[in-house]
Amino acid sequence: MQVNFLGFPATLGAPTIDYILADRTVIPEEDRRHYAEQVVWLPDCYQVNDARRPIADHAPTRSESGLPDHAFVFCNFNQSYKFTPSMFAAWMRILAQVPDSVFWLLDDLPELRANLAREAERHGVAASRLIFAPRAAVDRHLARLKLADLFLDSLPYNAHTTASDALWAGLPLLTCRGTTFPGRVAASMLRAAGLPELVTQTPDDYERLAVALARDPARLGALRQRLQQNRPTCALFDTDRFRRHIEAAYSTMWDIWLGGEGPRAFSV
């Protein structure tokens, strides 16, 4: 048996792949027909997380990270190939409505700074409001994520590992539910972390909620506190819970094969 899991968040379209591991958010029942694989639905988020990942003890200050002390810090640490013109335009509209805000990004490619600075200016946002973070060791990166106020997710391809990083560090993330597997991963994670209200259904709602949260520190602070409280017990970061579910999935696949049946969809 061959199982599609984590390597590619969509169908491989190959008859030699028997199953794909998913959850009901990333592949709802009505989308089964688009998959060559038989869908196996895990009960929480399909993405596994390590509940023992270390976060560096020393958290840098904002000034040490090149951030203004009193600004609202939006961020997105995805690789830049996930940035589309329409998504970047949405982020610039959000910044325009929150004048004392900056946008914190990964310093990924030599061309990135110049290209995004030019696009920001074209949208009426000063290039100086884009701040670029150099790559860092994972534990140090997780520590500095605490300096941000809100992670703005991307479409049509969500944050995946970077969304896990943000939530593990205690940073709230705002997403818009997409129409495909890779555009629904952050929604799946937020539900498993107990923060479903940070999943919006339309781009307009996404922009409105980003601005509303930036203007309402108490509301955002409550979400941040709930994330911190949920982190030790929520399904998203319960590695042993995930282990039990994925082992049950594999055992069921094996039992189906031993019974002489072909692969079939099922839920754990």
Say which amino acid occupies 74.
F
155-176 exposure pattern, b = at least 16 Cβ within 10 A, e = fewer = bebbbbebbbbbbbbbbbbbbb
Q: Do domains 3-49+238-267 and 63-235 have the same CATH topology?
A: yes
Rounded to an integer, what distance in angstroms lies between the CA atom of residue 133 and that of residue 57?
19
Write the pLDDT tens digit of every residue in 218-252.
999 999 999 999 999 999 999 999 999 999 999 99
The pLDDT of residue 59 is 86
Rounded to an integer, what distance in angstroms lies between the CA atom of residue 243 and that of residue 89?
40
Rounded to an integer, what distance in angstroms lies between the CA atom of residue 31 and that of residue 179?
10
Domain boundaries, the chain: 3-49+238-267, 63-235
Write the pLDDT tens digit of every residue in 158-216.
999 999 999 999 999 999 999 999 999 999 999 999 999 999 999 999 999 999 999 99
Fold of 63-235: Rossmann fold (3.40.50)
Q: In CATH, what class is 3-49+238-267?
A: alpha beta
Question: Which residues lie across from 76 on neighbouring strands?
Answer: 105
List Cβ neighbours of 191 (8 Å cut-off, separation of 6 or more). 25, 45, 199
85-97 vs 110-122: helix crossing angle, rounded to 10: 60
Is the pTM higher than 0.85? yes
